[in-house]
Amino acid sequence: MKFNTKTIHGGQEIDPAYGAVMPPIYQTSTYAQSTPGGHKGYEYSRTHNPTRTALEKSFASLENGKYGLAFASGMAAIDAVIKLLKPGDEVISTNDLYGGTYRLFTKVYEKFGIKFHFIGMENAKHIESYVNANTKLIWVETPTNPMLNIIDIASTANIAKKHDVLLAVDNTFATPYLQQPLNLGADIVMHSATKYLGGHSDVVMGALIVNSPKLAEKLSFLQNASGAVSGPQDCFLMLRGIKTLHLRMQRHCENAKVVAEYLKNHPKIENVYWPGFEDHPNHNTAKSQMRDFGGMISFTTKDNNYDESVRIVERLKLFVLAESLGGVESLSGHPASMTHASIPKEEREKTGVVDSLIRLSVGIEDIDDLIEDLNQALA
């Protein structure tokens, strides 16, 4: 089954009760048992729910994985991965990553004795120098948030396997439409499904997809024990959103290409970060592991002024100033004061997240209207 078909049919079955085409919303907390322990596969909805099961099968299908898990949020999914570790273990992480991930790693898990190394991963050989006997996990975002750096998943997977280390890839920006990390050797794929997978800015959810039955069992245990599950209504909305993922991503990519080229040629813009440019440092890696270059763009103005960048995002009308990304509507953000505010200024600026940086999530509106909106905001 090819990807465009998987978004609609992958892992899905017609409901056996009445033939419903869409999986019903099983809005129930518990299930009747004929005898203690005698049930039809479901006993309590924190552990399993039929609507969630349908979604988890869809997640697995999209990523060419065997097991999918639906979490209450992307952060809950990341939390479950870190709970695989123990005090004394070490993690090698991308240094340019979502601020919430950085906060979870440094403010929550460092005090439990887990050590994190935040490094540039654009050259995979740089990663291996940080691997030691205590290293248990390599955490990758690609493209990274918000600098749109590209990390070679296959090369990183080779390093992880050589040293018997888990490799987890945050695939939120790319989505399985553009790249499938399990095919490239990753052990775990994570999504903030809130973003492109849901695609309509109306549900918060996270996802993990794996191939290993042992890893799936451990993560399922942690999810059930911690209670970080998604509700049936949210699962239904996510299933609905996934059915148009391939159509939306195609338009996101088309629009982003036009916006990126417009910004690159604008006299007020200094730097534009988008992996589709041939002069992007890892453009060839992006071409080799991605189908297209995605809908995310970051840029800085020539005056490199905090106040002016804030004024630009305030003047935008169609690019709504808001947290998050990946919805059908275009969004703008100021990472230094919004999504990455939890990262200390000196650490942010080492990776290029300066005070003047603006991040765009390019939606699926008419491209002429988006360019006109940028024109008036930059005028």
d(CA 325, CA 295): 9
**DSSP track, 25-91:** ----SB---SBTTB-SS-SBTTT--HHHHHHHHHHHHHTT-SEEEEESSHHHHHHHHHTT--TT-EE
User: Which whole-number Å values give the CA distances from 311 to 48, 136, 306, 332, 379, in the listed order?
Assistant: 47, 44, 9, 12, 11
- In this structure, what token pair is assigned to residue 203? 């549900």
Concerning whether 130 is annotated as a catalytic residue, the answer is no
Burial tier of 292 (Cβ tally within 10 Å: 0-12, 13-18, 19+): buried
Lookup result for tokens 């990758």? 140
Concerning whether 98 is annotated as a catalytic residue, the answer is yes
Concerning whether 18 is annotated as a catalytic residue, the answer is no
List the alpha helices (DSSP H) in 164-273.
Answer: 175-178, 213-226, 232-242, 245-264
Q: Are strands 269-273 and 296-301 parallel, antiparallel or unpaired?
A: antiparallel
Angle at 43 between CA 42 and CA 44, to 5 degrees: 110
Task: List strands edge to edge, sheet with 188-192.
Answer: 67-71, 206-210, 188-192, 166-170, 135-141, 90-94, 115-119
Closest to 182 (Cα-Cα) out of 164, 209, 161: 209
d(CA 79, CA 150): 24
Q: State the sign of the Cα–Cα–Cα–Cα dihedral 272, 274, 275, 277.
A: negative
Concerning whether 195 is annotated as a catalytic residue, the answer is yes
Give strand pairing partners of 67.
210
Which of 46, 103, 218, 287 is catalytic? The answer is 46
Closest to 292 (Cα-Cα) out of 248, 357, 353: 248
Which of 6, 57, 195, 348 is catalytic? The answer is 195
Which of 67, 79, 96, 98 is catalytic? The answer is 98
Lookup result for tokens 């004061």? 337
Which of 96, 152, 170, 355 is catalytic? The answer is 170
Catalytic residues: 46, 98, 170, 195
